């Protein structure tokens, strides 16, 4: 579907262009404008591919207006429509797609649309596809296969992309986005910032070789969604592997690789407030994986490896007594009673200081039979 906007200060000309375009099944008219300021205000957020622009209008000249539009949205193709043929050279110097003389006919518009389709096809053929990797564990990053990292104009543009990837291509209401990313701003201010951030994100994505991948629609009260999926997303790999683990189709060595993907948690280094529920879910999954690794290593009597994964487990759940009980037990099994008692005393002090609680670990019982912890 080719999305088109028509701009002309004369109402009959607007109606004529609109009537001709409606004859094409693959064309969607996204708006008609006679006011240049209203158009410029709309351009950053509207979804449009092709803009039919009258050259000679009161106020800003069509050629100047086209330059302004290109500064804001370089992805929009411009077709000049005019009753005068004296601007053709200037029009094509602005890299316009086409130059149509009034009155517009269906036959002439068909040629313009064919030119648009060909230009889009040529651009795609000239593009060298490259794999894009997204990481959401630890710190959010977007990187190409050749090591180029995506740069963001603002931290909010980066957060908005992380938020849209988080929703995996599903539409998200603008109200929800504003509530999660700009919860500390009033509605009008949040909406203004959202539109600015959408524009900034689009430019960042275009500079990275990803054009027209963010949908910004007014339907259903206003929604946004990502029309692109990364070739690799560590969170997707993690969740897919966890499903395989639950189905009994993952070896312990592969379970260890999955735990390494998790690092220190989902978007932990970014501190986004909206990640809490997802982060907690993935941490619980990781807890299951770690327990299975520890149990397997203890069964094989590879206690030093069990200890490594127990300490990883304690980093995720720092106030889980069961984990520390197992750590103390492992020290005892390895005949390191001194380390076991020191760890017990350390945990006892930490619980008292951090959460004002006393631990219920019975060190004497563990000393007599450390295998009771497993």
Which residue bears the tokens 């028509």?
A: 6
Report how far apart, in Å, the C-alpha atoms of 252 and of each of 223, 224, 265, 351 are: 42, 40, 21, 32
CA separation for the pair 34, 117 (Å, rounded): 27
Q: What confidence tier does 127 reach under pLDDT thresholds 50, 70, 90?
A: low
pLDDT tens figures, 149-186? 999 999 999 999 999 999 999 999 999 999 999 999 99
Predicted confidence (pLDDT) at residue 94 exceeds the cutoff of 80: no
Asked, as a colleague might, if the bond just before 97 is cis with ω within 30 of 0, I would say no
Residue 124: what pLDDT?
56
Classify 320 in phi/psi space as left (phi over 0), alpha (psi -120 to 50) or beta: beta
Provide the CB-side half-sphere exposure for 298 (13 A, CA). 21
Query: Judging by DSSP bridges, how do beta strands 27-33 and 2-7 pair with one another?
Result: parallel
Q: Is 135 helix (H, G, I), strand (E, B) or coil?
A: strand
State the burial class of residue 18 (Cβ atoms within 10 Å of its Cβ: 0-12, 13-18, 19+). middle
Predicted confidence (pLDDT) at residue 294 exceeds the cutoff of 90: yes
Q: Which DSSP string corresponds to 22-87?
A: TT-TTEEEEEEES-HHHHHHHTTT---SEEEEESS-SSS-HHHHHHHHHHH-TT-EEEEEES-STT
Residue 51: what pLDDT?
92
- Please, what are the domains in the chain? 2-126 (3.40.50.2300), 146-226 (1.10.10), 246-373 (1.25.40.10)
Residue 70: what pLDDT?
80
Q: What is the mean pLDDT of residues 312-322?
A: 95
215 phi and psi, to 5 degrees?
-85, 130
pLDDT tens figures, 261-277? 999 999 999 999 999 99
Max mean pLDDT among 67-76, 83-92, 100-109 falls in: 100-109
Report how far apart, in Å, the C-alpha atoms of 62 and of each of 19, 43, 55 are: 22, 15, 4
Residue 217: what pLDDT?
77
Residue of higher predicted confidence among 47 and 158: 158
pLDDT tens figures, 319-347? 999 999 999 999 999 999 999 999 999 99
Residues across the chain: 374
Q: What is the mean pLDDT of residues 243-272?
A: 95
Provide the CB-side half-sphere exposure for 301 (13 A, CA). 2
Q: What confidence tier does 291 reach under pLDDT thresholds 50, 70, 90?
A: very high
Q: What confidence tier does 302 reach under pLDDT thresholds 50, 70, 90?
A: very high
Residue 85: what pLDDT?
62
User: Could you tell me which of 262, 274, 283 has the C-alpha nearest to residue 160?
Assistant: 274
Provide the CB-side half-sphere exposure for 170 (13 A, CA). 8
**345, 350, 355, 358 alpha-carbon torsion, rounded to 10°:** 0
């Amino acid at each position: 579907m080719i999305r088109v906007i028509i701009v002309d200060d004369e109402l009959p000309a607007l109606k004529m262009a609109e009537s001709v375009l409606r004859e094409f099944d693959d064309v969607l008219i996204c708006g008609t404008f006679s006011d240049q300021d209203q158009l410029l205000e709309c351009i950053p957020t509207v979804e449009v591919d092709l803009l039919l622009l009258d050259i000679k209008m009161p106020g800003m000249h069509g050629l100047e207006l086209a330059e302004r539009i290109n500064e804001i949205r370089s992805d929009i193709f411009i077709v000049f429509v005019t009753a005068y043929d004296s601007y053709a050279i200037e029009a094509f110097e602005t890299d316009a797609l086409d130059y149509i003389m009034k009155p517009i006919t269906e036959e002439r518009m068909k040629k313009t649309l064919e030119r648009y389709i060909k230009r889009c096809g040529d651009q795609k053929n000239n593009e060298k596809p490259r794999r894009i990797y997204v990481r959401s564990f630890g710190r959010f990053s977007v990187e190409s296969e050749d090591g180029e990292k995506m740069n963001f104009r603002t931290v909010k543009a980066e957060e908005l992309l992380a938020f849209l990837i988080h929703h995996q291509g599903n539409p998200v209401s603008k109200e929800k986005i504003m509530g999660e990313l700009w919860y500390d701003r009033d509605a009008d201010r949040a909406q203004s910032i959202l539109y600015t951030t959408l524009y900034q994100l689009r430019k960042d994505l275009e500079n990275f070789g990803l054009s027209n991948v963010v949908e910004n629609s007014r339907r259903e009260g206003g929604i946004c969604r990502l029309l692109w999926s990364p070739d690799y997303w560590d969170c997707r790999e993690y969740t897919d592997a966890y499903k395989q683990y639950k189905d009994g189709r993952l070896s312990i060595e592969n379970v260890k690789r999955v735990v390494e993907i998790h690092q220190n948690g989902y978007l932990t280094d970014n501190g986004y407030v909206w990640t809490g529920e997802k982060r907690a879910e993935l941490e619980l999954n990781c807890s299951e994986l770690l327990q299975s690794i520890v149990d397997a290593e203890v069964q094989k009597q590879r206690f030093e490896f069990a200890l490594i994964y127990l300490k990883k487990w304690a980093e995720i759940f720092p106030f889980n007594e069961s984990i520390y009980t197992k750590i103390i037990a492992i020290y005892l099994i390895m005949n390191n009673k001194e380390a076991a008692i020191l760890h017990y005393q350390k945990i006892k002090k930490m619980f008292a200081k951090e959460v004002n609680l006393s631990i219920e670990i019975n060190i004497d019982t563990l000393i007599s039979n450390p295998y009771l912890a497993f």
